[in-house]
Structure 1
């Protein structure tokens, strides 16, 4: 009889611990999910963005391009790092453009591919954060 009572107490404690753990998990998942799903406001985007002024580069097809970018980072620390690495970013952009032909950059698909390639390569440089998006703000192909 004493063993049955002890077994019931242990079973009740196990159920109580499981319920508390499940409730804690639901609460943590609920609050952490809202932060990630929330899109940043335009002010937050601008605060975490860096302008890359106009760059002129020769393309592989003997054409040239004048192009400017705005690069959005994930936070202010990443922005500060990106501002310090501006010479490396410009170098990457020039190298990337020098291997492209005019046909590669023309049209939406070419521009989106250039943005994605630059995002990935710049993220390879970053240590304090990451690049969220690369925007082309000006482009003149001649």
Structure 2
């Protein structure tokens, strides 16, 4: 009879321990993935307004803020400012005005720029590109 209670006690203890480990692992993982706004701002670079012609003979005036994964990546991105602007102008010059209209067009631009800028980067990667201003005419 005592062996049964010992086995039940051990199983209950194992269940409590495994549940606690699962809970704390999940909480810690969520905390690691969620950045505070101050942390995000420490890892962002603003790209001043760019005005360029599109392939459709329209033009766009657009600004970006780029979020990177680390402070070292931010330092590199700041140094590569002229290369990033060049990539942006080249990418925009191949697009039609209709390509940039609406949410879907903006998301495609952001994705394309993320891939191209990441190809440039040696230290870290781009996490997100935000369009902070956009006028299409």
TM-score normalised according to structure 1 size: 0.76
Residue 88 of structure 1: aligned partner: 83
In the alignment, structure 1 residue 116 sits paired with structure 2 residue 111 = yes
Residue 14 of structure 2: aligned partner: none
Alpha-carbon displacement from aligned partner over 1:14-34 (angstroms, at most 9, x marks no partner): xxxxxxxxxxxx8xxx49x62
Residue 53 of structure 2: aligned partner: 58
TM-align CA RMSD:
2.2
1:129 Cα offset (Å): 0.4
Residue 5 of structure 1: aligned partner: none
The whole-number CA distance in structure 1 between the counterparts of 2:116 and 2:134 is 20
Residue 73 of structure 2: aligned partner: 78
1:39 Cα offset (Å): 1.0
User: What pairs with 1:9-48 in structure 2 (closer than 5 Å)?
Assistant: 30=25, 34=29, 37-48=32-43
Q: Give secondary structure in 2 for the equivalent of 1:60.
A: coil
- Give the gaps of 5 or more residues in structure 1: 1-25
TM-score normalised according to structure 2 size: 0.79
The whole-number CA distance in structure 2 between the counterparts of 1:84 and 1:73 is 14
Structure label with greater radius of gyration: 1
1:38 Cα offset (Å): 2.5
